[in-house]
Amino acid sequence: MRKEQSSNFINEQFLFQVCELNSAVSVISGRWKSQIVYSISQGNNRFHLLLQELPNISETVLARQLKELETHAILVKQEIPDSVPVGVNYVLTNKGKDLVPILESLCDWGKTYAEGKEISI
pLDDT for 28 equals 86
Q: Is residue 100 pLDDT above 80, yes or no?
A: yes
pLDDT for 99 equals 95
Q: Is residue 97 pLDDT above 70, yes or no?
A: yes
Per residue in 58-90, pLDDT tens? 999 999 999 999 999 999 999 988 888 888 999
Residue type, 121: I
Q: Is residue 113 pLDDT above 80, yes or no?
A: yes
Give the residue ranges of DSSP H helices in the chain.
7-18, 20-28, 33-41, 47-53, 59-71, 94-114
The Cα–Cα gap between 102 and 92 comes to 14
Task: Indicate the pLDDT class of residue 2, thresholds 50, 70 and 90.
Answer: low
Per residue in 12-54, pLDDT tens? 778 777 778 887 888 888 889 999 999 999 999 999 999 999 9
pTM over 0.85: no
